[in-house]
Amino acid sequence: MTPLFWKGKKEKEIEERLLELKEKIEIFERRLDETIEKVEKVEKGARLLTEAVYKIITYLKELELPKEEVNQITVDRSLETVKKKEPPKEYLTETEKKLIDEIKKKGVLTVSECYAHIGRSKEHVSRMLKRLVEKGILIRERRGKIFYYRLAEE
C-alpha cells in the first residue's frame, strides 16, 4: 500500500506544479499582449509621423517657385504675383496606385496575390496594405488565417 500512497503524493505535487506553471503562463501571456499593444502604438505613431513629414515635404516642394517667378519677384518686389498651390488631396505612391488598380480589376485580393502583383518584399507590401487600410482606402477582412483586401466603398 505504500507505493499507492507515494504515487498519490507525487501526483498531487505534479498537479500543484502544473497549476503554478499555468498561472505563470497566463501572467506572461498578459504581459506579452500588453507589450504587443505598446509596440503597435509606437509603430502607428512612427508611421503617422513619417506620413506627416512626407506630406510636409511634398507640400513644401509644391510651393517652390519656378526660377522665372523668383526673378520676377526680385525685380518687382511684389508678392501679389505669386500664386500659391494647393497640396494634392491624396498622397499615393506609384506602387500603391498599382495595387489599388489591381484590386479594382479583381475585386478582392489575398496578401499573397498582392505580393505577386507588386513585385516587392512581403514586408514592404504588408506595410503598404496596412497604411491603405488606415487611410480608409482599403478594407481588410480575415477568413481563417488568410487576409483579404478590397476597396472601401465611397
- Cell triple for residue 62? 509644391
pLDDT of residue 80: 44
**Residue appearing with cell numbers 499582449:** 33
Q: Report which DSSP code applies to 80.
A: G
Measured at the alpha carbon of residue 113, what is the angle toward residues 93 and 116, in degrees to the nearest 5? 70
- Do residue 34 and residue 74 come from a single domain? yes
Average pLDDT for 136-141: 90
Chain centroid, CA 149 distance in Å: 13
Q: Which of 87, 104, 121 is the last residue of a domain?
A: 87
Domain of 119? 92-154
Domain count along the chain:
2
- CATH number of the domain encompassing residue 118: 1.10.10.10
Q: How far is CA 13 from CA 17, 24, 72, 104, in A?
A: 6, 17, 90, 62
Residues 38-67: pLDDT tens digits? 888 888 888 888 888 888 887 777 777 555
If asked whether residues 36 and 73 sit together in one domain, one would say yes
pLDDT > 90 in the chain, percent = 12
Would you say 81 and 73 are in contact if contact means Cβ atoms under 8 Å apart?
yes
82: confidence class by pLDDT, cuts 50, 70, 90: very low
Ramachandran quadrant class, 85 (left: phi over 0; alpha: psi -120 to 50; beta: rest): beta
23: confidence class by pLDDT, cuts 50, 70, 90: very high
The residue out of 71, 87, 103 marking a domain boundary is 87
pTM above 0.75, yes or no: no
Query: Could you give the residue ranges of the DSSP H alpha helices within 64-121?
Result: 67-76, 94-106, 111-118
On whether both 77 and 120 belong to a single domain, the answer is no
- Assess whether 10 and 43 both reside in one domain: yes
Q: Do 38 and 21 fall into the same domain? A: yes
Based on the domain organization, do 109 and 64 belong to the same domain? no
Together in a domain, 14 and 66 = yes
Q: Is the pLDDT of residue 76 over 70?
A: no
Residue 6 and residue 62 in one domain: yes
